[in-house]
Chains A and B, each alone.
Chain A
């Protein structure tokens, strides 16, 4: 597993979080889970996108937690929400009906078409590792207007072939999303600890479009289990600003700030 890279004064996880936050525009409706996406969405809301609407799967719409929730059903999410609705409503009226602009997903495995595996490592019957499973992922992948995937980049995660397809990115390539009836645009960004990948507009294949500070292309290629497609001009991510880091760290540990 990639160790957290301490480059100057921030961690790889902080770089990923800031990159994810920057992808969110004010007024966006986003569906968040736990971990980096939850911190990123709240960071965006606190720093530059005060009208960002956070929806948690438990039914909290417009949640404004002052610290990261441990679970998607923590009391503060309901207490600070504009509305709390039932789980059938969240999935049917909000996700499936396309009312969410951005959905975040993580994964244990990802392939070149940004399909994701959160079900098993190994075979389904008697797996090597039994992962938690699908949860909200298939609906998030299908119905959100776009998806941002946040995942560590390594040979263990970036695999040639998924052990199990839990949620669909671009399926087997161009036209597959439409054929399968998935109404959202699919993954528009994959943010890793090494950089950012985006789907090629024609082939739908994930392409390395930027690298984080201190990361070179060889590292990214070596961390990918297929022949990594690379943009003609690979950009360099802007490191986190002091303002972003202060806000991120204050949100993550309010008792320390």
Chain B
């Protein structure tokens, strides 16, 4: 059954040096507070997994926590580049970053296979692309029924999944709604999972047609983190802080400015997600 605990205890217990960690949330419900706690606790040598690194991994990479990243699209949505990600890949700063890149469908289906307890999933889209020969986790396969050639993608079972959701009850059952991304798949595919939530309620009441419940017995830990998705958002609680994503382009472009920002907004704060006003340095 999921244990309710503080965010700092949860990260301390669940995330270890060298772990493979998937902090998912497709634009929505990205677990920034948890990601920043991982940075604050000084984790090293992580293998980061996310469909889109987003600003959350830009920060984790820029602070030297990661040896490797598995992803499928590495930009700042609608804004441009992720400068810390690019600096690591182009210039080995602050340390070399090994990358394994898929398409969204490829990485998504790796999670699906992991969540299904199967060794692989199959896809069609990789044929003829430069990704196919490069990836040890993708292999050609022939359909035993039709003879069609397809791509098999190896199951992915992260050590730790971290997601953010709207609510949990006192028993640790989790309710989330809105854009669901691969939240369910990553929790079910991972060995351990942490869900940070906006609110702990007495009873979970689905708020919309797209609501999803993760039973307490599928989750390792639940931690209260109101505002814990900022600058991403939690439907029903907050809106995406598009100004922050735009401001991040300037903040993260220069190494020293990035480090100063991280020091002021993340390292010196406890348990609160970092915010910035547009125009602030």
Contact = CB atoms under 8 A, between A and B. Distances in A.
Contacts of A133: 71-75, 101
Given A91-B109, A130-B86, A135 B73 contact: yes
A216 interface: no
Nearest to A57: B104
Contact of B179 (A73, A119, A135): A73
Given A58-B26, A130-B89, A138-B103, A143 B130 contact: no
B85 interface: yes
Contacts of B26: 58-59, 73, 87
Contact residue range for chain A? 35 or more
A35 B78 CA distance: 8
Interface stretch (B58-66, B119-127, B258-266): B119-127
A135 B184 CA distance: 20
A134 B104 contact: yes
B149 interface: yes
Given A71-B78, A181-B124, A124 B134 contact: yes
A88 B112 CA distance: 8
Contacts of A136: 73, 103-105
Interface string A72-102: 1111011000011111100110011000000
B77 interface: yes
Given A78-B179, A126-B90, A166 B131 contact: yes
B178 A181 contact: no
A87 B233 contact: no
Interface in B84-119: 85-86, 89-90, 101-106, 108-109, 111-112
Given A83-B209, A181-B148, A73 B131 contact: no
A183 interface: yes
B127 A70 contact: no
B41 interface: no
Given A95-B105, A134-B102, A135-B103, A182 B128 contact: yes
A166 B104 contact: no
Given A73-B240, A127-B89, A134 B235 contact: no
A27 B149 CA distance: 33
B146 to A, nearest CB: 11
A87 B27 CA distance: 11
A167 to B, nearest CB: 6
Contacts of A86: 180-185
A137 interface: yes
Interface of A: 34-35, 57-60, 69-75, 77-78, 83-88, 91-92, 95-96, 119, 124, 126-127, 129-139, 141-143, 164-168, 171, 176, 180-183
Given A73-B179, A84-B209, 7 more contacts: A35-B78, A69-B78, A86-B182, A88-B182, A133-B74, A135-B73, A182-B125
10 contacts: A35-B78, A71-B242, A84-B209, A87-B108, A91-B108, A134-B72, A142-B125, A181-B127, A182-B125, A182-B128
* Nearest 6 CB-CB pairings of A with B: A73-B27, A132-B75, A135-B73, A71-B77, A138-B125, A91-B105
